[in-house]
């Protein structure tokens, strides 16, 4: 059974049949099904197939266990389906659709556990690098090849450090693998996928071209992010209004905090946030947020934990100064300091800064040069792999961050 489920087509065909059959048997109808039940069964099948298509995409750029994304993806797909159905007035059974969502989650989770080993990336390595550095990660199995190299021994993909010297035999073997449609990975690329960051110490100037984002996707990104903001205004605008009132009631001063930050191309823009601290004295020097915790108000602690203080930046996104997802914008004084201390720091300004980003959901808050250097490595990884599916991955991680408070400052 386990071997059978390793085939994705077989696994999902069985999944659709089992989920649909259980829903049919539990519907209480034995003869002709009413339109509401038929529509619900079709909606469930559609949701199942959509989840099956999204899960592999969302983990493409990071070697993570798929099971951790099943619940948020299933919940998002079925919630979106219910919203569309409500707007289009399609007749359906809410209870059956919710039960279908539960069944889909159970099936995807159980099969993910059973298929865990088969979904592990298997690589065959020419041993010109530290193989154990990849094997220790658990999500990748690296098998060392012995000379003379034989293409018949490759049962997966090939990994090699392309920046180190190779023997003529190894170079010919790599070329033969490419000609036979065997994927060849650079060892550093696998390490980036495992760690979710670019090694800035080894970043070559000729590799900067790979950091250029796709202009077509950047246009699409602007459209879908603006659409999401506008659609969620009926929920977010009342929250903003209540937050502004609470800030004014607790502490004198403006509800909004406006500050200049560095945006795309190094240009300055004015960022909007809800004020979470007492008013700073005029002329006081800029500090990291963690150095000024004593000034945080009670309302400020709450809105920071759940990222409510960032909601006014929706207007920065609509203005075009920011994106929903991207590297967090820093103050100009910090940027000038880090550009002197951290190589390639300026390259994080190749894209618009974001309300949330890869570094925020993976690393958390940075408050010194060392942690900022680590943050840059994550930012450059995001820019290098920027895509719709990586953005969706960050959306799900951001939801987790908002619920747990991880990385919130």
Q: Give mean pLDDT, residues 125-137.
A: 81
Per-residue pLDDT at 202: 62
Per-residue pLDDT at 267: 96
More confident residue, 20 or 363: 20
Per-residue pLDDT at 291: 52
CA neighbours closer than 13 Å in the CB half-sphere of residue 252: 0
Confidence of residue 338 (pLDDT cuts 50, 70, 90): very high
Q: What is the pLDDT of residues 351-364, one digit of tens each?
A: 999 999 999 888 87
pLDDT at 86 over 80: yes
**Domain segments of the chain as ranges:** 2-114, 121-195, 215-280+289-404
Confidence of residue 38 (pLDDT cuts 50, 70, 90): very high
Identify the CA nearest to 391 among candidates 223, 269, 272, 191: 223
| Angstrom distance (rounded) from CA 37 to CA 97 | 9
The answer to whether 348 and 357 are in contact (CB under 8 A) is no
Q: Give mean pLDDT, residues 248-268.
A: 94
Per-residue pLDDT at 245: 96
pLDDT at 301 over 60: yes
Q: What is the pLDDT of residues 40-83, one digit of tens each?
A: 999 999 999 999 999 988 876 555 667 888 998 999 999 999 99
pLDDT at 406 over 70: no
Indicate the range of 77-86, 181-190, 255-264 predicted with least confidence: 181-190
pLDDT at 397 over 90: no
Residues in a beta bridge with 271: 259
Residues in a beta bridge with 142: 123
Q: Give mean pLDDT, residues 290-306.
A: 83
The architecture of the domain spanning 121-195 is 3-Layer(aba) Sandwich (3.40)
The answer to whether 69 and 396 are in contact (CB under 8 A) is yes
For the chain, what is the mean pLDDT?
87
Per-residue pLDDT at 340: 92
pLDDT > 70 in the chain, percent:
89
Per-residue pLDDT at 132: 84
Per-residue pLDDT at 408: 44
Q: Which of 29-43, 188-202, 276-290, 305-319 has the highest mean pLDDT?
A: 305-319
- Please report which helix (H) or strand (E) contains residue 144, including its range: strand 140-144
CA distance readout (Å), 351 to 267, 283, 297, 342: 11, 31, 33, 18
pLDDT at 288 over 70: no
Strand, helix or coil for residue 159: strand
Confidence of residue 248 (pLDDT cuts 50, 70, 90): very high
Q: Which position has the token pair 């979470």?
A: 276
Per-residue pLDDT at 7: 83
pLDDT at 121 over 90: no
Confidence of residue 409 (pLDDT cuts 50, 70, 90): very low
Per-residue pLDDT at 320: 96
Per-residue pLDDT at 64: 65
More confident residue, 405 or 238: 238
The pTM for the full model equals 0.83
Confidence of residue 287 (pLDDT cuts 50, 70, 90): low
CA distance readout (Å), 171 to 45, 122, 160, 177: 48, 21, 10, 10
pLDDT > 90 in the chain, percent:
57
First to last CA, the chain: 48
Per-residue pLDDT at 375: 92
């Amino acid at each position: 059974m386990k071997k059978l489920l390793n085939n994705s087509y077989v696994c999902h065909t069985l999944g659709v049949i089992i989920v649909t059959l259980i829903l049919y048997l539990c519907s209480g109808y034995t003869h002709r099904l009413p339109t509401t039940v038929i529509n619900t069964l079709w909606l469930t099948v559609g949701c199942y197939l959509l989840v099956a298509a999204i899960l592999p995409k969302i983990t493409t750029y990071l070697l993570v266990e798929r099971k951790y994304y099943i619940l948020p993806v299933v919940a998002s797909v079925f919630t979106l389906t219910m919203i569309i159905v409500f707007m289009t007035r399609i007749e359906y059974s809410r209870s059956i659709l919710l039960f279908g969502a539960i069944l889909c989650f159970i099936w995807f989770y159980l099969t993910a556990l059973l298929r865990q080993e088969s979904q592990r990336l298997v690589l065959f390595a020419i041993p010109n690098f530290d193989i154990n550095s990849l094997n220790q990660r658990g999500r990748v199995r690296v098998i060392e090849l012995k000379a003379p190299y034989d293409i018949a021994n490759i049962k997966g993909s090939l990994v090699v450090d392309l920046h180190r010297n190779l023997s003529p035999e190894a170079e010919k073997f790599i070329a033969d693998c490419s000609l036979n449609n065997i994927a060849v990975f650079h060892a550093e690329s696998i390490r980036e996928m495992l760690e979710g960051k670019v090694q800035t110490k080894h970043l070559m100037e000729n590799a900067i071209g790979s950091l250029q984002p796709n202009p077509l996707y950047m246009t699409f990104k602007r459209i879908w992010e603006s659409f999401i903001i506008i659609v969620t205004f009926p929920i977010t605008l009342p929250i903003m209004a209540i937050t502004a009132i609470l800030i004014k009631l607790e502490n004198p001063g403006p509800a909004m905090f406006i500050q200049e930050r560095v945006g795309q191309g190094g240009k300055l823009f004015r960022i909007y946030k809800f004020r979470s601290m007492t008013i700073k004295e005029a002329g006081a020097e800029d500090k990291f947020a963690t150095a000024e915790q004593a000034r945080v108000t009670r309302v400020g602690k709450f809105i920071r934990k759940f990222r409510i203080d960032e909601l006014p930046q929706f207007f920065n996104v609509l203005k075009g100064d920011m994106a929903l997802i991207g590297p967090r914008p820093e103050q100009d004084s910090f940027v000038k300091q880090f550009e002197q201390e951290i190589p390639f720091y300026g390259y994080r300004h190749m894209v618009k800064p974001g309300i949330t980003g890869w570094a925020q959901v993976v690393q958390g808050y940075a408050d010194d040069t060392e942690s900022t250097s680590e943050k840059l490595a994550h930012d450059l990884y995001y820019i290098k792999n920027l895509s719709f599916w990586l953005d969706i991955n960050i959306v799900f991680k951001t939801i987790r961050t908002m619920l747990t408070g991880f990385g919130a400052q």
